[in-house]
Amino acid sequence: MLAASLAHARPDPHDSVAVALRAGRYQAAYRLLQATADTADIATHRIRRAMCLLNLGQPQAADSLFASAPADGFQVPYRDYWQAIAWYRAGDQARAAKGFDRLSASPAPPVRDSSQVWALRCGLENGDSALTARALARLVGRSDDLAAVGWFARMRRASAAGDSAQWASAWLTLLERFPGTPEAYQAALLADSLGWRGKGTQLVALAQMYAGQGNPDLAARAWYQAIEDTELILRRPEMRARLAELLIGGRRYREAEGQITALLGDSTARNWWPATLRLYANLERKRNAETQSRHWEMQFVERFPEHEQVPDALWNVAMSWERVGNCAEAVKVYEQLAERYPSHPLAEAGRWRTGFCAYLAGRYSEAHRQFSRLARTTEDFALADQASYWSGLALHSADQLEEARLEWDRAAAYSPRSYYAVASAISAGRPIVPPEDERPLPRVVARPDTAWPGFIEARWLSSVGEWRWARSVLAQGTSGLATSVEDMEALADAFEAIADYSVSLRWRWRAMWRRTTEDRYHELPPDLLRRIWPDFFREEVTAAARENGIDPALVWAIIRQESIFDPDVTSQADARGLMQIVPSTGAALARQVGINEFTPTDLYDPCLNIRLGTKYVAQLLDRFKKIDLVAAAYNAGPSNAVRWQQTSGSNHDVLRETITYSETRRYVKLVLKNYLIYRSLYRERRERQP
């Protein structure tokens, strides 16, 4: 009965209250709710008001609303959970503890898991030994990472009681079974403060855990300790190599060189000499010592000619020659790579770079022959498009204009499957995407939203601002059910309906690849392409773009590449939200737009993130003028963009191929591709804007 009533009374996933709740703008959401009376769904209306009050520091008022909300079915455990939080925040911890203890057996997994943690917290804070014991037993008995919460609590209790044997046992359990959890990291810091000194494989596990948790300094310290441990003497070469790799990543080059030198001087480390030579080459490359880097790569190639990494080493040598402007030597190495490893992917990439070197030298006929041959023979569609585009460029530079147009026209037939196919379409004067079909593509849906297990519950959770739980519920309920194209599209619709655009887009992408083979990607009509390049957060993007005087297509292009429309994502560099802004940059941008009360968590607010990110893009565009340089600066920093601009001159086709960071080189092309596709797909909508 509940499902049936919600099926026709579900809140719109784009309604302003849900958007405000998801972004944490509780005051705005409450004002909107106060302006309307209780709706047909009284429970949802009151729970949403209560959620606002709970997060605005009014737990007593929230408690009253939770108590008056006539929840039914799956709503009940969620309402009871939030009410228990209200009791806790209002100071009634005994009542809250009972509530969380009861909800620890809830049939709703999000409520059950969170309540088990809250029950432990209440038991510890209230000195309730019975509740604490029950909570600990529940948590440490789990098989997933949530068990780490219980083990860490057990460790802290034992350390407070001075029971060294107990806390050490709990700590080692965390290290061995749950090394990837935040609790294990905190436990490691606690163990260190308590004077714990590991030995043997414990030190190896500790070093790996610290590295995984993003603390290279502590990881290096643990590796140093492991190297000195006599129990690990047989693993010393391996550990030196791991330490050297870590030190290179942390720019501690002198220390890294010491470890590498020790490896090369250790006759027992012969098995690690190939890796060591490559480490030395990488170290010198990081120090911009190109001659030394090439020396060590060639030492590796000559001493270990049968090693599987020889193609990669040759590639690095050739690219190094290119970076110092010696294309003749680079071509020799590329040819050596192609001759020795004709079927290796890098051999084909080397053939392209050989053509590129000929192009840079002004030998356009030679470049055309190289590119044209590769375009016909490679099975890599992206490389084929790249070779075709550059074949056209070589012909055009040789004043063979009609031949160039024909070359581009052939590659343009595959637009928009790659950046180069899109660029070929522009050069050939063809549309980037197929023309609109007068008859809209029929939307074949395998099942309605409400037929997916967990959808009704997830939709309701999204409407009250708990979109993370909504994602979890729907993902768990539908696991393994979408196997056909129709089901993939339908499941994408379901995730879009709960405003989880990132997961929705991933399902659309899967459906696209299932629908078409790689070489028929160009046959997708605009209706399907708009599902893969969607204009989510339309109001926020267009408003921010208008405020900063830039094309909204560029904002969507960056969002799609940075976060795949996930406002909650955080990178290893602590970049946050839709446009992946680091807190320091966010704070500076917030001041520029007149926001004084800024916190890093504000970057998870889609509206604010888009506004700040668009401001930054506009500043980069004002400075660099060209989209490719803006993308390079956004990804790798303005100083690198300036350096690449200076080395490539005014030729932006050359610029995109000479960016020294492979990640940035790829990023720039993907953002450009996104930008051009967005401009083409949404041209009519853009032209209708005032």
Report the catalytic residues. 562
Q: Which two tokens stand for residue 61?
A: 């008022």
Say how far apart CA 126 and CA 376 lie, in whole Å.
74
d(CA 679, CA 687): 10
- HEC string of 140-187 equals HCCCCCCHHHHHHHHHHHHHHCCCHHHHHHHHHHHHHHCCCCHHHHHH
At 309 the three-state DSSP class reads: coil
Helix (H) or strand (E) holding 41: none
Whether 392 contacts 364, CB under 8 Å: no
* Three-class secondary structure of residue 581 per DSSP: strand
92 — alpha (psi -120 to 50), left (phi > 0) or beta? Answer: beta
CA angle (148, 152, 153) in 5-degree steps: 120
Does residue 644 sit in helix, strand or coil? Answer: helix
Burial of 447 (0-12, 13-18, 19+ CB in 10 A): middle
Distances (CA, A) of 422 to 384, 425, 432, 519, 635: 13, 5, 6, 15, 22
Cα separation, 397 vs 656, whole angstroms: 18
Helix and strand numbers (H, E) in the chain are 39, 0
β-bridge partners, 576? 570, 581
Rg, Å, the chain Cα set = 29
CA distance linking residue 207 with residue 192, whole number of Å: 13
Residues in contact with 538: Cβ distance below 8 Å, sequence separation at least 6, in sequence order: none
Tokens 């051999």 belong to residue: 347
Cβ neighbours of 619 (radius 10 Å):
16
d(CA 649, CA 71): 66
List the structure tokens of 15. Answer: 């309604």
